[in-house]
Homo-oligomer: A and B are copies of this chain.
Amino acid sequence: MILARIILGLLDLAPMSGYDLKRHFDTTINHFWSADRAQIYRTLARLVEDGLVTVETLAGAKAPDRHEHRITPEGRDALREWLTSELDRQPERDAFLARLFFAGSLDDAELAGLLARYRAAAQEQLDALEAIRASTPPPADRRARLRIVTLNCGLTRTRAELDWLDEVTKELT
């Protein structure tokens, strides 16, 4: 389960509560993975059960109790094992391509609308990624460089998608 590995990865950077993790998922991690609160807490519970993570309850002075989670040596081993394990090819899943594939029954205007709306969404995503990159300081160490590199992947892909969309739009009208 990948979510568990990602959580281990985040806890390897710093000890965190479930809430902290959720924030990371919604910001830093957002461009390649997302997670629901409930899912995060459940996964954390399982990681603790499996001994890959420990919990410490910190009584909150001005906030509710925090459950601070810390990765264990076994957790670090599991993380390392994941990073060096064989790649498991994940199947493609693209709801937009599915629609487009079956869009033969739409008329020209409807099809053009579908493409235009997707283009707008893609452009928006490109802007968002570029904004993140613009606000990221130049990478100091290996870790920071890897973070930028994953961002660049999103940028490259999104730009490629925009090129493809323009081509398609020209071709189909």
Contact = CB atoms under 8 A, between A and B. Distances in A.
A105 B160 contact: no
Interface string A83-119: 1101111111111111111111110001001100110
B92 A34 contact: yes
Interface residues of A, number: 65
A23 interface: no
A100 B142 CA distance: 11
Contacts of A42: none
A100 B149 contact: yes
Contacts of A98: 2, 5-6, 9, 29, 32-33
B87 A110 contact: no
Nearest to A5: B98
A160 to B, nearest CB: 3
A132 interface: no
B82 A121 contact: no
A16 interface: no
Chain A contact residues: helix, strand, loop or mixed: helix
Given A95-B2, A152-B168, A102 B9 contact: yes
A103 B146 contact: yes
A29 B97 CA distance: 10
Contact of A88 (B95, B149, B150, B156): B95
Interface of A: 2, 5-6, 9, 12, 29-34, 79-80, 82-84, 86-106, 110, 113-114, 117-118, 121, 141-143, 145-147, 149-150, 152-154, 156-157, 159-161, 163-164, 167-168, 171-172
25 contacts: A5-B99, A5-B102, A29-B101, A32-B92, A32-B94, A80-B105, A82-B99, A83-B99, A83-B106, A84-B110, A90-B93, A97-B150, A97-B154, A101-B146, A101-B150, A102-B146, A104-B142, A104-B143, A104-B146, A145-B171, A145-B172, A153-B164, A156-B161, A157-B157, A157-B164
